[in-house]
Amino acid sequence: MKVEQIAIFLENKSGRLADITSILAGHGINIRAMSLADTADFGILRIIVNDTDNAKQILRDNGFTVGTTEVLVVEVQDKPGGLAEVLQIIKDGDLNIEYMYAFTQKSGDTGLIIFRFDEIDDAVNVLMKAGVRLLSGEEVYSI
């Protein structure tokens, strides 16, 4: 149920994102989801890829500072209120979201929301008990 996400720390200067995506592409690594957050001095690129272990090593070999975190990928209905339903379950379960980002698969079907919780095991239990579908790493990596 948990999915491994790579976090890459970037200097806040032009071209760094292009460098990373080019390096990964050159090694056949496919990005499944990504989020970029920045401050005045640095950025944090969070990615989910089809080959996490290989991507981490390639990035480290190219001088990037890389870490990993576990996230949950939650399927939500692609309709008005789909996200609200899941967020209400999270609220009722007294779970704390550290951050989240989303991607869609096919309009009108389902969307996927990536959540980072401060207590991920509690989040797994609350969401599964409520019947929320959590994708496995293998499902996400193969999208």
Query: Quick check: helix, strand or coil at residue 126?
Result: helix
Tell me, what's the pLDDT at 108? Answer: 62
Token pair for residue 73? 């990928």
Q: What is the CATH number of domain 74-141?
A: 3.30.70.260
Domain boundaries, the chain: 2-70, 74-141
| CATH number of the structural domain 2-70 | 3.30.2130.10
Q: What is the pTM of this model?
A: 0.89
Position 39 scores a pLDDT of 76
Q: Kindly list the averaged pLDDT for each block of 10 residues, start to end, along the chain of length 143.
A: 94 88 97 88 91 96 96 92 96 96 74 95 97 92 82
- Tracing tokens 């339903």 back to the chain, one arrives at 85
121: exposed, middle or buried (C-beta count within 10 Å: 0-12, 13-18, 19+)?
Answer: exposed
| Residue 71: per-residue pLDDT | 97
Residue 124 has a pLDDT of: 97
The pLDDT score that the predictor gives to residue 3 is: 95
Say what the pLDDT of residue 27 is: 97
State the CB neighbour count (10 A cutoff) for residue 101.
17
